[in-house]
Amino acid sequence: MLIRPAADIRSSELTPEAAYWNRRDWLAAAGGAFAASALVPGSLRALAQGGSPVAQGTPYGLQPGDKPTPWEDVTGYNNFYEFGTGKEDPAELAKGFNPKPWTVKVDGLVKKAADYQLEDFIKPSKLEDRIYRHRCVEAWSMVIPWRGIPLADVLKRAEPTSQAKFVEFTTLFDPRRMPGQALRVLDWPYVEGLRLDEAMHPLTLLATGVYGRDLPNQNGAPLRLHVPWKYGFKSIKSIVHIRLVDKQPRNSWQLSSPNEYGFYSNVNPEVDHPRWSQASERRIGEFARRKTLMFNGYADQVASMYSGMDLRKNY
């Protein structure tokens, strides 16, 4: 099992001090404006360091003190095992990956199954910029300005039948283009699942961009999920297949370590990972740890979907 908690991260993976001070200067300049608008819906523009794109979008569920994680970290510190297991591997090993053209298949328990070219699947005019919190199961977190559309929009278009209860997502399987798939670190292709109500929730985003640009390959180009109240591994990258099903799908991490990773994977500071605490997290680009919030700060929007469920059992 390769996932390690933030406390175990090698010092070589930590942000070099010089870069940290640059960021701090930037955050000091941008922080005031951001903090003032963070809790108010509306468009947000924060100044970025020269050369880096500008964080833009409507803040969703941000907490006081949340600031967009710098572009360099969002695109330089990644989990994408198809391109290596080190945090800096995907940015390097995915450089030559070409995500165009891209076809997405939507089928299963739907009235309108189809294969779509990406540009027909998600019309650029429908894209929204939304800033979300992102909490990895390894106890680190980020704040990310995604560009995408609610998953519900594309699911509704397919017209799920009354038998559809879950949605299964699959990443591209092509070891010639995704060199990490030559290693048996996971049972490829990467698969994930959501209950239909979770998939239809207005916060669940299909992202095609970040920081106002098309997704860099290491972030899951050209199309990935972001489910902000769940641990990051639910947010599957480089999706080629969306299937509506009647049974709970297996998901890659649950298949690989069933006693450590469940189907729901809702962020829950009260349920520890068997090998580390989930009570706090390290925000990438900062040193101080912060408390982890129930449902990653989205409890008001999503807790009702789990009422009556034992969240220790359904982890």
The residue ranges that bind ligand MTE (CB under 6 A) are: 78-82, 136, 171, 190, 219, 232-233, 235-238
In whole angstroms, the minimum distance from the beta carbon of 185 to ligand MTE comes to 9
In whole angstroms, the minimum distance from the beta carbon of 251 to ligand MTE comes to 11
Q: Of 109 and 296, which has the nearer Cβ to ligand MTE?
A: 296
In terms of Cβ atoms closer than 10 Å to its own Cβ (0-12, 13-18, 19+), residue 184 is exposed
Q: Of 34 and 233, which has the nearer Cβ to ligand MTE?
A: 233
Residue-level length of the chain: 315
β-bridge mates for residue 273, sequence order: 276
Of the chain, the end-to-end C-alpha distance in Å amounts to: 18
Q: Of 109 and 217, which has the nearer Cβ to ligand MTE?
A: 217
| Helix then strand then coil, % of the chain, to nearest 5 | 30, 25, 45
In whole angstroms, the minimum distance from the beta carbon of 79 to ligand MTE comes to 4
Q: Which residue is nearest to ligand MTE (CB)?
A: 232
Buried b (16+ CB within 10 A) or exposed e, 129-158: bbbbbbbbbbbbbbbbbbbbbbbbebbeeb
CA distance 200 to 158: 12
Q: Of 44 and 236, which has the nearer Cβ to ligand MTE?
A: 236
Of 195, 189, 114, nearest to 154 by C-alpha is 114
Q: Phi, psi (5° rounding) for residue 93?
A: -80, -15
- Give the Cβ contact number of residue 207 at 10 Å: 25
In whole angstroms, the minimum distance from the beta carbon of 219 to ligand MTE comes to 4
Q: Of 26 and 81, which has the nearer Cβ to ligand MTE?
A: 81
In whole angstroms, the minimum distance from the beta carbon of 116 to ligand MTE comes to 19
In whole angstroms, the minimum distance from the beta carbon of 220 to ligand MTE comes to 6
Q: Of 75 and 160, which has the nearer Cβ to ligand MTE?
A: 75
Q: Specify whether the CB–CB gap between 28 and 34 falls below 8 A.
A: no
